[in-house]
A and B are shown apart, each in its own frame.
Chain A
Amino acid sequence: MIPGDTFNNQRCYHHKDFHQSHHSHSNSAIDGVSIEKSGTREIKVVRRVLDVNDKMAEQNRRLFAEKGIFVLNVMSSPGSGKTTTLEKTLAQILPEIKSAVIVGDICTTHDADRLASTGVPVVQINTDEFGGDCHLVAHVIEKAASTLELDDIEFLVVENVGNLVCPAEFDIGEDSRVVVLSVTEGEDKPVKYPLMFRECEVALLNKIDLLPYLDFDREKAIAYIHQVHPKMPVFEISSKTGEGFAPWIDWLKGKIKAKKK
């Protein structure tokens, strides 16, 4: 599920492996101008634009593997209930599982303040320091993780910036990705943002306590999810009432246990 496993990062690059383009050939043939001195040349670069991020993400992944920490990247659109879901999740796994949180927001420490009340170490990242980014990148995670006592952590959850587009594009060195979709959003979000739903391992369908008051068609939403990501596990939850949390917590505990040293 992590980008890079299959079709990214398999390229090498050759800085100086350049050759003349056909423009140069014609120039040099006609007026004998040395191609070393003038004319257009094409230089092969063949390099992923995000290669620096990908390398940093691999470095993070190695560090977390060494420490036996399961890292979960939680993504969704703004207002889907990521923070409330994490508060409820932490309440159910603490103190059994030693956890820490990295929270990304463009501005404010509101989410971090809420999560800190659960008693876990929380690092807030405000991306405006990094240009108001709409997503978290690997080097920011590395910096945030360096402020945590990693030897005392089994589970590190990263609450990404609320956005269904860009965070899916950036590997941060996580083990797994979760997308939260709430029933107050459209059923067709998965097909509008297919990359996000393809890149995530599981989906949480949140705010199901509101279903009686909405026209939201949950079967249609799940069908759309499975259209872009066949067989994707979908946990239907209410982070307000706690309904439906048991299978989600079981899934999470299984992952944490598998990674633990």
Chain B
Amino acid sequence: MHEMGIALRIVEIATASLPVDLGAARVTKVNLKVGKLAAVVPESLRFCFDVAVKDSPLEDAILAIEEVPVVAKCKDCHAQWTIDEPVFVCQTCHSGSLEILSGRELDIESIEIVEEEKNDSG
């Protein structure tokens, strides 16, 4: 529901991450990790991203979303497994004392950039 705010923040972070010594550069791709337990809908985020990039160095950039599964570890028996339904109970010992190892991500991993062509290149 708050995907537009997230899309705008992605544009902000990506723009700020452009190396200052590179001159005019364009971002062609943003690699984003989104945990399955983050309150973000990838389709909705992509839609907002396409709007948010207008008139920025990210115009026409691709938003590559890697969905991260929810992985839990039992604090009692140390079993580790992927949670694919909302059951946060250890499948081995039925303990409810879990550590969530992944699934809450909303992280920009990297951006891919291309330097704008210059007339005197070569």
Q: Which of A202-261 contact B (CB under 8 A)?
A: 226-231
With both chains docked as a complex, state the minimum distance between the C-beta of B104 and any C-beta of chain A, in angstroms: 6
In the complex, B114 has a CB within 8 A of chain A: yes
With both chains docked as a complex, state the minimum distance between the C-beta of B114 and any C-beta of chain A, in angstroms: 5
Interface string of B90-122 (1 = CB under 8 A from A): 000001110111101011111111110110010
Contacts of A16 in B (CB 8 A): 19
In the complex, A15 has a CB within 8 A of chain B: yes
Q: Which of B11-65 contact A (CB under 8 A)?
A: 13-14, 16-19, 28, 31-32, 37-40
Is the CB–CB distance between A43 and B86 below 8 Å? Answer: no
Contacts of B117 in A (CB 8 A): 38
Is the CB–CB distance between A6 and B109 below 8 Å? Answer: no
Contacts of A43 in B (CB 8 A): 17-19, 110-113
Whose C-beta in chain B lies nearest to the C-beta of A19? B110
In the complex, A145 has a CB within 8 A of chain B: no
Q: Which of B56-77 contact A (CB under 8 A)?
A: none
Interface size on A, residues (CB 8 A): 45
Interface string of A70-96 (1 = CB under 8 A from B): 000000000000000000000000000
Cβ contact of A7, chosen from B6, B102, B121, cutoff 8 A: B102
Given contacts A7-B101, A41-B113, A166-B39, contact A198 B88 (CB under 8 A): yes
| 26 A-B pairs with C-beta separation under 8 A | A6-B99, A7-B100, A7-B101, A8-B104, A15-B16, A37-B118, A37-B121, A41-B114, A42-B31, A45-B109, A45-B110, A45-B111, A47-B17, A47-B107, A47-B108, A49-B10, A49-B13, A50-B106, A166-B1, A166-B2, A168-B39, A169-B39, A198-B88, A226-B96, A228-B86, A230-B95
